[in-house]
Amino acid sequence: MTEKDFKTRYIRARKAVIERDFANLNDMQIKAVTATEGPLLLLAGAGSGKTTVLINRIANLLRYGKASDSEELPENASEAELKILEDAAKDENYPDIAEARRLSALEPCEPWRVIAITFTNKAADELKTRLERMLGADARDIWAQTFHSACVRILRSHADKLGYDRSFTIYDTSDSLSVIKHIAKELDISDKEFPPKSILNYISKAKDEFQTAADFYTQASAMNDIRRKIIGQAFIAYSKRLKDANAMDFDDLIYNTVLLLESNKDVRDYYQKLFKYVLIDEYQDTNNLQYRLAAALTGKRGNICVVGDDDQSIYKFRGATIENILSFEKQFKNARVIRLEQNYRSMGNILGAANAVIRNNQARKGKELWTKKDMGEKLTLYIAQNEDDEARYVASSILKSVELGENFRDNAVLYRINAQSNKIEYSLKRNSIPYRIIGGTRFFDRQEIKDILAYLCVILSPQDELRLTRVVNNPPRGIGEKTVETAQSIAVAEGSALFEVLRNANRYPALERSAVKLRQFANMIDDLRLLSESTPLDELFDIVLDKTGYVRALELKPTDENTARIENIGELKTNILSYIKETGETSLAGFLDEVALYSDIDNYDNDSNCVTLMTMHSAKGLEFDNVYIIGVEEGIFPGIRSIGEPEEMEEERRLCYVGITRARKNLTLICARQRMLFGRTSANNPSRFVEEIPSEFIERKAALRNDSFTTRPEVSSYSASPKKSYLNERPKYSTALPQKQDVSMSFKVGDAIIHTAFKDGVIVKLTPMGGDSLVEIEFESGVKRLMLKAAAEHMRKK
């Protein structure tokens, strides 16, 4: 055997042995798992098993290193070893597979030398969990983190090199917003002409382009752009304010990490040497800064694997640039591209529709999803009379699917804008269909939570002026706004921290009147800080609640709202306890980091049997058997703002693609002939996206014209006439259908009934309400309250 022969055979056999570990993957997936070296762009279509590939890829790196993608042989590779490999490759029941595997490894990677970056905590957690399940405890050392948490981790060791204290705090968007508002007031910038949010947007964009506040201002001056000059001033003040408070906003976390890596050779060398393999998930959602971060972490070794789907890029509005994925091959030389197009989620008709819609986009790499499943049900397009009809239709079909044995949790209602959820909610409520809404105010954005956390922040670092001013008179301590302002100007004049001024309030004549209260407050914080050094977090939390009197103030006025707030604070305590339990950490600093980067506590209970309501944006990454997309109309989806804007339109179309591909079995699109939104009624045409779906994949259904739907029957207090049908898949005659009326009227208390979704029940109460009745029915699963007319459609007397 020549040396060359030996080498070829060895490499082939070794690869075959490795691939045995990944036999449950398809060919493309195996390629993606084994192409370990150099830049790799993985175009992973919706439902193509992207996370599975990511996990298996990491497993391959840890077990076999670069062996599956290298021509290198181990030193002194022998013919005996080759025989073992070849036999193991051939024989599924090879006895000493462990030995073959050992021989197949080539520089296996240590877990802490793999960094896998995601966008959301949820994705990071999923990655961590699945990695640990596959690889055991070793997996815990893998850097499976979000962009932001990875940056925090790096900055906590090196922030001093950028002039920050390593214990810097993190400002979230609303913190940033209040800083901007204060600055705008100080600089006398009108919030009419310069909305704080838009100023923040400029700042964020500038950081994305790696521009400092000074750069921004200079540039604006050079261009003589008065607007940008004013924004530049705000930017400069904002940066100073944060720096003085030793705080970073979300953009700073990434910006500063990039700055650190690009400007400090030692640090750069350290991390580039550390990370042998860099993986980035959801690459289509990255912005310019994140690209630079990825490049800086990767270094010359070039082992970067990005996973993404250009067709699912839907976050342009928050800075994501599809350009990153489209030009990956230019940015990283000799990149390989692998497409994952086999879909494991949806039936054929759904994929046919998805492919047909997305094909209309220009800016894309090009992909076609396919499946081994059969065509399944055609999609349904329901043309409703109005938004009430739409909502009724959704509720009614969900009940039908439940009747056929599905669970509520198999259903999702998706929409373009949150405002659309209202009517659906009412309709689901009327039918006692359990649901949950994703989106809306997040737990950590709630006032009381922010207040308590602000206390904790101040205790940790009193120079955090933003949080300090938030809590100084909350609960009321008789420290007025004026007083705080005076103290602030003294601090500025002296060049000292606001907290110092409060602490020494008696020294300043201007603060004479409130000096006692101010010092009391400062002493309280000082005491708490002293305590925080030796007290575990959970105990400290209770003490803070007590000493600050926050909860006591709420208890004094037990309104519903305050009761809820107290409950939320209790919830926060629960959170702290589980944090301690999970991490074993009892320090305040660690917890505040976690909280700053963790926003969704509500999303934890995904096992309850509920219909899910959310925007299509929030639905990305999820899947359901039955999906309803509502408001599929020109002006809503695509939104009015994107009509006439080709790029925006493509983004809407991608959103549509995301929506469609959430469905496993049934997809219903609904548009209404007439709709009231934001108090205005309009008649919209069906969305162009519907027109883009060939009729072979979709079936049209329409509510027949029925005048009763143009008025709003369910609130018809003027008419007790119970003639109108609530479910309108029936022709118009229903208005005159006497039996119909009899059906809903004939139920009385004590009747035993069968409901299609809730099965056997007994009517326990009937309360007339408007032209309808509230009926309470005792089912096995408990007492449900339904509106009789709606419910009558789904039940009959036993």
Q: Toward DNA, which CB reaches closer, 313 or 396?
A: 313
Structure tokens at 619: 């639905």
| 3-state class (DSSP) for residue 463 | coil
| 3-state class (DSSP) for residue 423 | helix
For the CB of residue 445, give the shortest distance to DNA in the complex, in Å: 8
Q: CA-to-CA distance for 104 and 85, rounded, in angstroms?
A: 8
Q: Toward DNA, which CB reaches closer, 502 or 614?
A: 614
Q: Toward DNA, which CB reaches closer, 374 or 605?
A: 605
Q: CA-to-CA distance for 749 and 746, rounded, in angstroms?
A: 10
For the CB of residue 358, give the shortest distance to DNA in the complex, in Å: 17
Positive or negative CA dihedral for 536, 542, 544, 547?
Answer: negative
For the CB of residue 642, give the shortest distance to DNA in the complex, in Å: 5
Q: Within a 10 A sphere around the Cβ of 407, how many other Cβ atoms?
A: 12
Q: CA-to-CA distance for 681 and 674, rounded, in angstroms?
A: 7
Q: Toward DNA, which CB reaches closer, 181 or 301?
A: 181
* Cα angle 531-534-535, degrees, rounded to a multiple of 5: 75
Q: Which residues of 109-119 are buried (b: 16+ CB within 10 A; e: fewer)?
A: bebebbbbbbb
Partners of residue 384 on adjacent β-strands: 672
Q: Toward DNA, which CB reaches closer, 578 or 681?
A: 681
For the CB of residue 610, give the shortest distance to DNA in the complex, in Å: 17
* Cα angle 327-332-333, degrees, rounded to a multiple of 5: 110
For the CB of residue 355, give the shortest distance to DNA in the complex, in Å: 23
For the CB of residue 441, give the shortest distance to DNA in the complex, in Å: 6
For the CB of residue 285, give the shortest distance to DNA in the complex, in Å: 8
* Cα angle 240-245-246, degrees, rounded to a multiple of 5: 95
| Cα distance between the two ends of the chain | 84
CA-nearest of 355, 317, 310 to 42 is 310
| 3-state class (DSSP) for residue 624 | strand
| 3-state class (DSSP) for residue 391 | helix
For the CB of residue 479, give the shortest distance to DNA in the complex, in Å: 6
Structure tokens at 273: 């040497």
Structure tokens at 103: 């021989």
Q: Toward DNA, which CB reaches closer, 28 or 619?
A: 619
For the CB of residue 320, give the shortest distance to DNA in the complex, in Å: 9
Q: CA-to-CA distance for 669 and 692, rounded, in angstroms?
A: 13
For the CB of residue 643, give the shortest distance to DNA in the complex, in Å: 10
Positive or negative CA dihedral for 325, 329, 333, 335?
Answer: positive
Interacting residues toward DNA by CB under 7 A: 119-122, 146-149, 172-173, 181, 191, 250, 314-315, 317-318, 416-419, 422, 439, 441-442, 473, 476, 478-481, 557, 597-600, 614-615, 617-618, 639, 641-642, 648, 652, 676, 678-679
Which amino acid is residue 100, in one-letter code?
A: A
| 3-state class (DSSP) for residue 180 | helix
Give me the residue label for tokens 């204060």: 182
Contacts of 488 (CB under 8 A, 6+ apart): 465, 469, 498, 501
In this structure, are residues 466 and 179 in contact, taking their beta carbons and an 8 Å threshold? yes
Q: CA-to-CA distance for 471 and 452, rounded, in angstroms?
A: 8
φ, ψ dihedrals at 355, nearest 5°: -60, -40
Structure tokens at 685: 């045409």
Q: Toward DNA, which CB reaches closer, 302 or 480?
A: 480
Strand order in the sheet with 336-340: 143-146, 114-118, 277-280, 304-308, 40-44, 336-340
Q: Toward DNA, which CB reaches closer, 108 or 439?
A: 439
Contacts of 474 (CB under 8 A, 6+ apart): 451, 550
For the CB of residue 553, give the shortest distance to DNA in the complex, in Å: 8
In this structure, are residues 631 and 675 in contact, taking their beta carbons and an 8 Å threshold? yes
In this structure, are residues 502 and 519 in contact, taking their beta carbons and an 8 Å threshold? yes
Q: CA-to-CA distance for 589 and 170, rounded, in angstroms?
A: 11
CA-nearest of 380, 382, 354 to 368 is 354
Q: Toward DNA, which CB reaches closer, 287 or 355?
A: 287
In this structure, are residues 413 and 611 in contact, taking their beta carbons and an 8 Å threshold? yes
For the CB of residue 150, give the shortest distance to DNA in the complex, in Å: 9
Residue positions annotated with a catalytic role: 50-51, 281-282, 312, 662
CA trace torsion 137, 140, 144, 149 (10° rounding): 160
Q: Toward DNA, which CB reaches closer, 612 or 615?
A: 615
For the CB of residue 422, give the shortest distance to DNA in the complex, in Å: 6
Q: Toward DNA, which CB reaches closer, 28 or 259?
A: 259
Q: Within a 10 A sphere around the Cβ of 59, how many other Cβ atoms?
A: 17
Q: Toward DNA, which CB reaches closer, 86 or 249?
A: 249
Q: Toward DNA, which CB reaches closer, 212 or 599?
A: 599
CA trace torsion 522, 527, 532, 534 (10° rounding): 160
* Cα angle 742-743-747, degrees, rounded to a multiple of 5: 100
Contacts of 458 (CB under 8 A, 6+ apart): 464, 467, 468, 471, 499, 525
